[in-house]
Amino acid sequence: MMNEDLTSEVAQARERLLKQLEQLTDKPAVLRSPDLRALYQRIATLPEDQRGLFGQAVNQLKNELAGLITEHQEAESALPPVDVSAPFALNSEPSRRPGLLSAAMGSRHPISRELELILDIFNGMGFSVVESREIDDDWHMFGALNFPEGHPARDDYDTFMTEQTDTNGKPLIAPAHTSSMQNRVISRYQANLARNEPIAVVIPGRTFRNEDVDARHEHTFYQVEGVYINKGVNIGNLIATLKSFLQSYFANDSLSVKTQPFYFPFTEPSLEFSLSCPFCNQQGCSICSFSGWIELLGCGMIHPNVLKEAGVDPKEYQGFAWGMGVERIIMMKYGIEDIRHFESGKLAFLRQFSAGGDS
Ligand SMILES: [Zn+2]
């Protein structure tokens, strides 16, 4: 007979080991537990008449643990696979599964809703819509837009690249601006010019930058590009077009606009377009940094080299283009202080836009 002290020593160790087994994710690790090792080390320290019995008891305990591990592993592999993206546990009792959620509980994302409104306004002004793409090549991103190889302005458009390369061996790019579509739409709608009709296209799209994300910068955002080409187009047409869009979008006819010179390789002259602050009527507020103006977008007259690349004669035709940040204009309209809200998936933010929801 093993003495009582040793019997209870093994029993206590068993309790601890069973508890460890229950808590461990990696069940077989219990066989390497210091508690079990201590039991084996204990054998050599016992009087001879107890060693055999104690050793047997310890082996028995180890076999019990090994058996439990096997049982667990078998149960685990017998479970049907689980779709972790399912909206409820697929294996739950049918009576406990939720029904489909009613559409009234959801709402369109503010970007989708406002983008539609923006495109509607431009549509009313005679612009067609062409969607941008989310992967493009170096030539459309830079070459077609008068950014020569090694041009320092390329650095302002640092974005994400794929390992896959285009036919020139350059990595494909997650476009940093919707302007990568300019060459395509100018080429595609060239027949308009021959019919004495303008090329008038807006290009909504998702764009990407390698940004340090903060309240005003996101790595993923939306732009609406605009391209207008015809005979005798001048910068007054550009300003009037954007101004009338903004007055319509903000439903405010008294908005005024301001331009100041800027630099883009693909427009000449290039302008930065500011809007009188719609929050303070130019009295100065925190949103406009007390200047009364908010910078809204970059624009300019399309560079002759960009027209030429797309097969349009710059001596005969002129055009203007702009690139507008969609989040930025929505932020201005609704007084949203942080661009990160849009992609955060926070319901409290999204629900503000479903009130009075238009489906
Ligand atoms: Zn203001």
- Residue 295 CA to ligand 1 center (angstroms) comes to 12
- Residue 253 CA to ligand 1 center (angstroms) comes to 17
CATH of domain 112-351: 3.30.930.10
- Residue 259 CA to ligand 1 center (angstroms) comes to 17
- Residue 240 CA to ligand 1 center (angstroms) comes to 22
- Residue 277 CA to ligand 1 center (angstroms) comes to 4
- Residue 288 CA to ligand 1 center (angstroms) comes to 4
Q: Report residue 94's pLDDT band, with 50, 70 and 90 as the boundaries.
A: confident
Q: What is the pLDDT of residues 282-335, one digit of tens each?
A: 898 887 889 999 888 999 999 999 999 999 999 999 999 999 999 999 998 898
Burial class for 1, CB neighbours closer than 10 Å (0-12, 13-18, 19+): exposed
Q: Report residue 260's pLDDT band, with 50, 70 and 90 as the boundaries.
A: very high
Mean pLDDT over each residue of the chain, to the nearest integer: 90
Q: Where are the domains of the chain?
A: 4-78, 112-351
- Residue 284 CA to ligand 1 center (angstroms) comes to 4
- Residue 223 CA to ligand 1 center (angstroms) comes to 23
Q: Quick check: 90 pLDDT over 80?
A: no
- Residue 325 CA to ligand 1 center (angstroms) comes to 19
* Residue 268: half-sphere exposure toward Cβ, Cα within 13 Å: 10
Look at residue 356 in the predicted model and tell me its pLDDT. 52
**What residues are neighbours of ligand 1 (ion), with CB under 5 Å?**
277, 279-280, 285, 288
Amino acid occupying residue 294: I
Distance CA 193, CA 84 (A): 54
Rg, the chain, Cα only: 34
- Residue 250 CA to ligand 1 center (angstroms) comes to 14
Query: 103-112, 239-248, 341-350: lowest mean pLDDT where?
Result: 103-112
The answer to whether the predicted template modeling score (pTM) of the entire model surpasses 0.85 is no
Residues 34-46: what's their mean pLDDT?
A: 92
Element (H, E) at 233: none
Q: Are 117 and 202 in contact (CB under 8 A)?
A: no
Q: Report residue 357's pLDDT band, with 50, 70 and 90 as the boundaries.
A: very low
- Residue 343 CA to ligand 1 center (angstroms) comes to 25
Dmax (CA) of the chain: 111
- Residue 151 CA to ligand 1 center (angstroms) comes to 36
Q: Quick check: 103 pLDDT over 80?
A: no
